[in-house]
């Protein structure tokens, strides 16, 4: 004759299984969020590519170029900040533009161009 399991033993085991499933689902969700945020924080675009993209977006030929990698936002998303300029007299600029290029996707995020005389 086969004995049926005691009723008291079945319930704690079921609770333990539910907790394990909830823990695994939670761990999977956390892993997914962390992997996505790490992927967005990567620098995939080279400095040279960012400079080329920035030059295409301004209306003048720069004589000086400065590039910095900056991180912005809550996720610290990386951007190349490319400054393009034509120097003027007395430490001023005849033309100046700052172009922000997403270092992950290569898309130009912002262009701030100052016309001559400013």
d(CA 118, CA 115): 6
The torsion angles phi and psi of 116, rounded to 5 degrees, stand at -55, 150
Could you report the per-residue pLDDT of 43-58, keeping only the tens digit for each? Answer: 889 999 999 999 999 9
Positive or negative: CA dihedral 29, 34, 40, 45? negative
Averaged confidence pLDDT in the chain: 82
The mean pLDDT value for 6-14 works out to 56
At residue 63 the predicted structure's pLDDT band, cuts being 50, 70 and 90, is very high
pTM: 0.63
Find the range with the poorest average confidence among 12-26, 46-60, 71-85, 103-117: 12-26
């Amino acid at each position: 004759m086969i004995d049926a399991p005691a009723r008291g033993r079945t319930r704690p085991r079921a609770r333990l299984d539910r907790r394990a499933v909830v823990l695994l689902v939670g761990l999977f969700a956390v892993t997914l969020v962390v992997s996505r945020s790490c992927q967005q924080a990567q620098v995939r675009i080279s400095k040279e590519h960012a400079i080329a993209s920035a030059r295409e977006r301004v209306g003048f030929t720069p004589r000086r170029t400065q590039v910095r990698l900056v991180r912005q936002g809550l996720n610290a998303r990386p951007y190349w900040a490319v400054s393009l300029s034509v120097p003027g007299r007395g430490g001023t600029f005849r033309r100046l533009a700052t172009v922000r290029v997403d270092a992950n996707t290569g898309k130009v995020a912002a262009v701030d161009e100052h016309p001559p005389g400013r």
